[in-house]
Amino acid sequence: MPNVTIQQMPKTVEQKRELVARITDAMVDVYKAPAETVHVWFHEVTTEDYAAAGRLVADKLAQK
């Protein structure tokens, strides 16, 4: 059973629905996995929960 975890900033439900459909289609096409066995998890983090180059993204956005 293919398991896919997506780590990202929060997205809309519509965006997640489309992404899940596309990922599932890709797994079916490439791995020949039955669609019902493809599992996708979203792990969403806020700008306060993510850092790059030693700084929180929230702090970088606050400076703009």
26-55 pLDDT tens trace: 999 999 999 999 999 999 999 999 999 999
Tell me the per-residue pLDDT of 10-27, one tens digit each, with 9 for 90 and over: 999 999 999 999 999 999
- pLDDT score at 57: 92
7 DSSP β-pair partners: 43
Q: Which two tokens stand for residue 2?
A: 């293919």
How much of the chain exceeds pLDDT 90, in percent? 89
- Look at residues 17, 1, 10 and name the one whose alpha carbon lies nearest to residue 43: 10
**pTM metric for this prediction:** 0.81
- pLDDT score at 64: 78
55 — phi, psi (to 5°)? Answer: -135, 145
